[in-house]
Structure 1
């Protein structure tokens, strides 16, 4: 049984990551055209010919509106038509090199077809401490792994621990994880994420409690033999692969894409990216998602532990009158 479980878990891990990243191409990646309605339709058709179903094109009347949309991550790039045969690509390097390369190649094809000389302007570059915009992925992966290990170890090392103390440990773990990530990624560490210390620490703390709580709940409901591998597949494999930390969820296969909004890892990654670069995009929805995961999973653990006897604990014998008098 352990051999089958380990092999199955490893197979799922390899299969999911290969499906997600072996040849990533965007699907309905939001971009914009600044120009007339006719220009927008023409450029949208050109983009579709360059990469079928790759882009979702919006039109803005002014360059300022496109810049605002880039800053709050409503779009990932903008094609700004100019006078004569000039055009400009606006993009946010903080989205990572994959997005920049995808939009750059497609926009270059459009410019070539239109006879435009295409310039480029990065209006929101990646910080010097995170040139590939991958730090949030590494940080979230580490917290998810730690949360999973905490959730499994808490029952292995302390099976008789009472519920209030177990939850106190979960809360302490989340607080420590959030503080450490905020320190390491902030100005006192690698200076990779320019978001506010308390904001990053708070979101990461919620991620830690959500993952730890989910692992606890699955372990209690299904038992260690089944609950541990299920938690591993759900949180480590599916959660990290769909988080959007390495590239936006628009690059995921259609069957994986919805998990980015549902699982706690994707919600946390989007929130941290938002408070670091994109005017807090995803912060509110992320906090709601992580809070719900934590509350529901803690509730499941509470309900299960209050209805079932603790492992290894036998009921205390009642004292009989004769025993008491004797």
Structure 2
């Protein structure tokens, strides 16, 4: 056997293409994570300000637009808007003295709260004033850096797409019958329920990281798991084994760094800031934080987004399977005709 034939026997051309795809995913992983995190800086952080118009204009005119300043009538209004997740922070200028107040909610992301504090402090120092930071909503004791929700979302999404990928490995990426497609989709329902339940037990009952929100954690986790599973199935039906790579691209390479975990959206470069709000990773992280720390305010949009992804994955899986089966049925008469001619 010649060397070329030995190489082809050991590493078929199809395998070379798959390895090349893995290399691209690997490089994409490095580019996405380093690109998102290498130089975090605030941009367009919504800040409600109670104070003179000159202060509002000064904060709103800072270089590179770190703040999006919105005037407010009172400190009570600022507090409520922060708790309702309408703004990220608030600044109240003292009527007497030189010490002003910066209101933040570090449970929404300590990195963002720190970044706003640094920006405001620089402005205050230039005016020979000082700032007192008031944390309205701090992370729970078991969630020191407010990262528990993010890592939980990652776990649920990974579980969903690995379960779907495992079914593909066992019986093929494209189901041979519509019945098999329906069974696979149906199997993901109890799996998602158990996945959400297990995650909630760990977060609430075992580690006490996000205590007191058991049922919310359960069903948000179940929704995320099912969504990841249906999207993975849809991509596998459309693209075969390449669908797994596309799933990794969406949920791992693009979704995780843009989800607002370690660095919130306002601290990320434009590309990651834009896509973060449109992917299940970011939506899940936002929904968990807002439900746990902000009485469920501003959770409708992220939960609806996750549900849309899940429904789209479900519909594409069914439609793609029907199309694949129809094409397979159309090829069968041709194959049978060729076989009969060969026998004759």
Q: Do Structure 1 and Structure 2 share a fold, with TM-score over 0.5?
A: yes
Range moving further from structure 2, 280-289 or 155-164: 155-164
For residues 20-169 of structure 1, what are the structure 2 equivalents within 5 Å?
A: 20-45=36-61, 48-49=62-63, 52-82=64-94, 83-159=96-172, 162-169=180-187
2:98/2:129 contact within 8 Å kept? yes
Deviations along 1:299-320, whole A, 9 cap, x unmatched?
111122234349x99x9xxxxx
Which consecutive unaligned segments of at least 5 residues does structure 2 have?
1-16, 333-344
- Residues 195 and 257 from structure 1, CA distance in 2 versus in 1: closer, same or farther, beyond 3 angstroms? farther
Shift of 1:247: 2.3
1: CA distance between counterparts of 2:211 and 2:267? 25
1:270/1:281 contact within 8 Å kept? no
2:164/2:233 contact within 8 Å kept? yes
Give the secondary structure class of the aligned counterpart of 1:90. Answer: strand
1: CA distance between counterparts of 2:219 and 2:298? 14
Shift of 1:131: 0.9
Aligned to 1:319: none
Question: What root-mean-square deviation, in Å, do the aligned CA atoms of Structure 1 and Structure 2 show?
Answer: 2.2
Aligned to 1:324: none
2:59/2:67 contact within 8 Å kept? no
Aligned to 1:213: 230
1:80/1:88 contact within 8 Å kept? yes
2:60/2:69 contact within 8 Å kept? yes
1:92/1:124 contact within 8 Å kept? yes
**TM-score between the two structures when normalised by the length of structure 2:** 0.84
For residues 183-202 of structure 1, what are the structure 2 equivalents within 5 Å?
A: 183-186=201-204, 188-194=205-211, 196-202=213-219
2:42/2:116 contact within 8 Å kept? no
Shift of 1:287: 2.1
1: CA distance between counterparts of 2:77 and 2:143? 27
Aligned to 1:305: 321
Which consecutive unaligned segments of at least 5 residues does structure 1 have?
316-326
After the TM superposition, list the runs of 4 or more consecutive aligned residues in structure 1 that deviate by more than 6 angstroms: none
Give the secondary structure class of the aligned counterpart of 1:115. Answer: coil
Give the secondary structure class of the aligned counterpart of 1:282. Answer: coil
1:70/1:92 contact within 8 Å kept? yes
**TM-score between the two structures when normalised by the length of structure 1:** 0.88
What is the aligned length?
309
- Residues 243 and 171 from structure 1, CA distance in 2 versus in 1: closer, same or farther, beyond 3 angstroms? same
Aligned to 1:289: 305
2: CA distance between counterparts of 1:281 and 1:13? 33
User: Which structure carries more helix by proportion?
Assistant: 2
